Structure 1
């Protein structure tokens, strides 16, 4: 993935590419999405308290958590390069923000990671060579995580025809389509979708899965550096990360 998305996308691509002559397997261990439309289990139960920054960092995946994947923490500087992505349509802002690192409903803490296939799966003959992506863990004030999911879900429906996103440096990215996609049920509520992008140099797609677990929102995006129209997010990575966040939320102390 080149500069055609935001700076934070480019940063993730560069980090992921360090391990990629490579890419994801699509067997059950890497886990392509196989069905379901996500979950929508918001309830009237008391709002959960957010994890602290320290707890959020403990909940972030490390390479040993997901065999066959290299997980790399992004620095604060790398994450900040995403800036404040804005949409030319107000109703699309919740989706546009996922292309940057600043959000209308500001989290109390965030951690950014990248993932890429490593080991035997990093085979140049693999037809899915080029898959990689980023994970963002965010803790939110009570009630805000629910609003984040509500906003993203509404934006996916309202912005099917696309929008123009502008990053913090003024660079514009044309999103030509927003399309909800089937994903396995995960977390307390979740939504999956793809963004089709195009500019003067290139086009491609990004895939997103956004999951709420208590007061935490975990956002995944996946891209394919060798087949830009075929992004994917390994289900093993999604499940392992969401489970780890859920356990952190239940832990005392």
Structure 2
């Protein structure tokens, strides 16, 4: 995964918000049940027989499919900063509930499941408002993307009561996970999609973050949104995925 530091307003504030989110954790996350929560091991759920099969094998890498700096109208897309990342690797994330591993990974800008390769970008509006949408792309061996989507769907239901994800330095405590529709963010051509929101508290303020995942053949795109300015301004936040970012990325995947 390419996660080099980029010195831009987006990367700097996104890193600051990530640091504050991490700092809100207790640092003592319950990891007693984290056996089997390593990279690619989230208690694989068999893909539903009604799940549409992959239409074609994806020949492009995640890096080739990623959005570039000026591909989204009125938005800037850059590489996220490595400063203050929640965890240096996916293996370092410990989950209080192993079944929640796909959600913990997705909300920490890591790919889900057994991938062939992955790539991460972060987007902001050019009329900057402190909000961010991260895009994590991953490619899979035939059949693995479908199994991964099944794992994520299972996790959204199983983790409704919340869970704790413990990183290298602190913990993120998610109080709830709720399934959402994806109607506000168009997903043309996707064979499967899911969306959910999660809530967490920081210094008494409630923050809602949102995640959406789509599958195109053997490629999965994960979109994660947070209101970065809410963390830096000590107020409640309501992250919303940028529809223009999803539309542009999905077009490249389609």
Compute the TM-score of the two structures, normalised by the length of structure 2: 0.69
Q: Secondary structure at the match of 1:65?
A: coil
Aligned residue number for residue 32 of structure 2 = none
CA 1:158–1:12: 2 relative to 1, 3 Å: farther
Q: Please, which runs of 5 or more residues in structure 2 have no aligned partner?
A: 1-6, 15-49, 231-235
Shift of 1:203: 4.0
Shift of 1:90: 2.0
Q: Secondary structure at the match of 1:63?
A: coil
1:57 maps onto 2:71 in alignment:
no
Compute the TM-score of the two structures, normalised by the length of structure 1: 0.70
Aligned mates of 1:214, 1:237 — CA distance in 2:
20
CA 1:103–1:110: 2 relative to 1, 3 Å: closer
The aligned length equals: 204
**Among 209, 219, 223, the residue aligned to 1:206:** 209
Aligned mates of 1:111, 1:78 — CA distance in 2:
18
Shift of 1:182: 2.0
**Among 31, 36, 42, the residue aligned to 2:51:** 42
Aligned mates of 1:63, 1:135 — CA distance in 2:
13
Pairing of 1:37-116 with structure 2 (within 5 A): 42-43=51-52, 45=53, 48-53=56-61, 56-74=62-80, 81-84=87-90, 85-100=93-108, 105-116=113-124
**Are 1:16 and 1:114, in contact at CA under 8 Å, matched by a contact in 2?**
no
Aligned residue number for residue 156 of structure 1 = 156
1:192 maps onto 2:195 in alignment:
yes
Shift of 1:78: 8.4
Please tell me the root mean square deviation across aligned C-alpha atoms, in Å: 3.2
Aligned mates of 2:108, 2:89 — CA distance in 1:
5
Q: Please, which runs of 5 or more residues in structure 1 have no aligned partner?
A: 1-10, 19-40, 123-128, 247-253
